[in-house]
Structure 1
Amino acid sequence: MSDALINGFAGAGGGIIAQLITYPLQTVNTRQQTERDPKKARRKQGTIEQMCQVVKHEGWERLYGGLAPSLAGTAASQGVYYYFYQIFRSRAEASARARWKNGIGDGSVGMFSSLLVAALSGCVNVLLTNPIWVVVTRMQTHTKASKRTKLNHILPIPPAEALPIAAIEPPPYGTSHAVQELYNEAGFWGFWKGVLPTLIMVSNPSMQFMLYETLLKKLKEKHALSKKGTNGVTALEVFLLGAVAKLGATVVTYPLLVVKARLQAKQIIGGDKKHHYKGTLDAIMKMIHYEGFSGFYKGMSTKIVQSVFAAAILFMVKEELVKAARRLLTKDTILIDKV
């Protein structure tokens, strides 16, 4: 098995585990990003309080709305990203060694090359997996409304005679419903909504991996110079490096994440025009005009907790899976050689 495939499968496994652990935080954060009601926006609620409100009014299952396509998207995204990252990284390393033989450089991949490798991998990933994340956003932002509310708009039923919320449950909103709704609204190209800010958001994992690779390289050098004389790193050290790298990248690129979520969420057509976005630039201008620059940082604290924790878990699990796969392949090779 090639190194690219090992890293691809390990990345997918790490991504799935991280997603399962942090998904409720991601759901709450997506709702915070797409909240357009100024009255609700002014009411400062903590992340835990918002999670409790969702459970109280909509049930536990809403915290995991869109989990199935999200896990599929995570596996696809991380697998695609790490696969192409390893391919591009290997080529960059080969190029660096070739330059070193010619007396140029020190034979290692520089910061700019690391950034370029991460950016190219991210672009391939975005173009291939964007439709999955549009559907996930739709399912995360869908609120469980009661049929009673809809019936009261149609029938002249006095409030005292209206049916209780628990009496009539709305039909479940699943993946097929989200896909059909999106297709009816915007057609085939609707599945690539928000792709422009998402492509720009490639700078987030690019910065993340650039910081991670740089910090990892320095840590290995530090270990090599220590008394132990080894450049190996522990799972805890990888966890902390992943957290620091993701924190730096998230703070810089968060406004683009909010714009992307607004574009991918269900558009309010026929109502207030300030809630309907025609494209990336229109969304940015309307957010500045109606919400100010603070609108670009809605739910940032939740996102920092979720993304940093998820990234740290992903890096730690991915590195451990890569090590395990390589040990397994090495043992198989030794057994084959003995035979």
Structure 2
Amino acid sequence: IKGLYRGVAPNVWGSGSAWGFYFLFYNSIKNWIQQGDSQYPLGPYLHMLAAAEAGILTLLVTNPIWVVKTRLCLQYGNEDAYLSKGGQFYNGMSDALVKIYRTEGVRGLYRGFVPGMFGVTHGALQFMTYEEMKAFYNQYRKLPHDSKLTTGEYLGFAAISKLIAAAATYPYQVLRARLQDQHHNYEGTWDCIKKTWKYERMRGFYKGLAPYLLHVTPNICLVMLIYEKFTNNR
């Protein structure tokens, strides 16, 4: 049972803090662009820009937590086996943060940051699609672009936007996880791309997509529903 919940602590901290920071930055940037006028429609370009900027700022804050999560999830075997090979064995989240910093420095805590930057396009595409679908739907109903929707409509738009973004940007998740895994030695992002393509072709870039979608789609639907219920007062 313990193995099934390996890495759950950093995942909870990472997901919770990431969404909190993301919505804080996203709403602040949107409000700045709109100059306080919520009736001002942003359009696809500005929605994507606001989401991308929020994603970059969030990644700067949370990347160390995702490194720890990946290391803990991919840690198998006992401590002696790791130490005999010159590796590190982590006894939890705080222990991993300290050991990674001591042995690899700040650079170790920001492994996978470059493909993570590419991943910002995932959130930007998802939020742009979500916001534009809502606006188009309200336009179709001849209502203001920020009019409140039903729970089912929020859930439907959230799921569709997530599926579109995942299909377009999932390969970066694979690259990021492999770069953060201490069992693989890559010289950098480009080296990881070349080796993945050489040995696994396109299929390698989409490994784990099905369980990923099963995990994140209900999650994003719930997150977006809560976000809308707390921020939309119309």
**Structure 2 length normalisation: TM-score?**
0.86
1:243, CA displacement in angstroms?
A: 0.7
Q: Write out per-residue CA displacement over residues 230-258 of structure 1, whole angstroms, 9 at most, x where no aligned residue.
A: 93211221111111101000010011110
AA paired with 2:4? L
Partner of 1:134: 67
1:303, CA displacement in angstroms?
A: 1.2
Distance 1:110 1:322, change over 3 A: closer
1:185, CA displacement in angstroms?
A: 4.3
1:321, CA displacement in angstroms?
A: 3.2
174-183 vs 280-289, which moves further: 174-183
Q: Structure 1 CA distance, aligned partners of 2:214 and 2:23?
A: 23
User: 1:217-236 residue pairs with structure 2 within 5 A?
Assistant: 217-224=135-142, 231-236=147-152
1:70, CA displacement in angstroms?
A: 1.9
Distance 1:320 1:63, change over 3 A: farther
Q: Structure 2 CA distance, aligned partners of 1:247 and 1:216?
A: 16
Matched, 1:214 2:132: yes
1:319, CA displacement in angstroms?
A: 1.9
Partner of 1:101: none
Query: Is the 2:31–2:37 Cα contact (8 Å) retained in structure 1?
Result: no
Match of 1:108 among 38, 41, 49: 41
Larger Rg: 1
**Structure 1 length normalisation: TM-score?**
0.61
1:124, CA displacement in angstroms?
A: 0.7
SS where residue 202 of structure 1 aligns?
helix
* Aligned sequence identity (%): 31
Structure 2 gaps of 5+ residues are none
User: 1:182-331 residue pairs with structure 2 within 5 A?
Assistant: 182-224=100-142, 231-266=147-182, 268=183, 275-322=184-231
Q: Structure 2 CA distance, aligned partners of 1:96 and 1:248?
A: 29
AA paired with 2:68? V
AA paired with 1:312? C
**Equivalenced residues, count:** 226
Partner of 2:23: 82
Partner of 1:272: none
Distance 1:63 1:322, change over 3 A: farther
SS where residue 191 of structure 2 aligns?
helix
1:78, CA displacement in angstroms?
A: 1.1
Distance 1:113 1:194, change over 3 A: same
AA paired with 1:295? G
Structure 1 gaps of 5+ residues are 1-59, 98-105, 154-170, 269-274, 328-339
Distance 1:172 1:285, change over 3 A: closer
AA paired with 1:125? T
Query: Is the 1:96–1:109 Cα contact (8 Å) retained in structure 2?
Result: no
1:107, CA displacement in angstroms?
A: 4.7
SS where residue 142 of structure 1 aligns?
coil
Q: Structure 1 CA distance, aligned partners of 2:40 and 2:19?
A: 28
Query: Is the 1:220–1:231 Cα contact (8 Å) retained in structure 2?
Result: yes
Query: Is the 2:155–2:224 Cα contact (8 Å) retained in structure 1?
Result: yes
RMSD of aligned Cα (Å): 2.7
Q: Structure 1 CA distance, aligned partners of 2:16 and 2:223?
A: 11
Query: Is the 1:239–1:315 Cα contact (8 Å) retained in structure 2?
Result: yes
1:219, CA displacement in angstroms?
A: 2.4
The list of structure 1 runs, each at least 4 consecutive aligned residues, that deviate by more than 6 angstroms after superposition, is none
AA paired with 1:88? I
Partner of 1:167: none
Matched, 1:68 2:13: no
AA paired with 2:174? V
Q: Structure 2 CA distance, aligned partners of 1:299 and 1:181?
A: 29
Query: Is the 2:74–2:181 Cα contact (8 Å) retained in structure 1?
Result: yes
Q: Structure 2 CA distance, aligned partners of 1:172 and 1:204?
A: 30
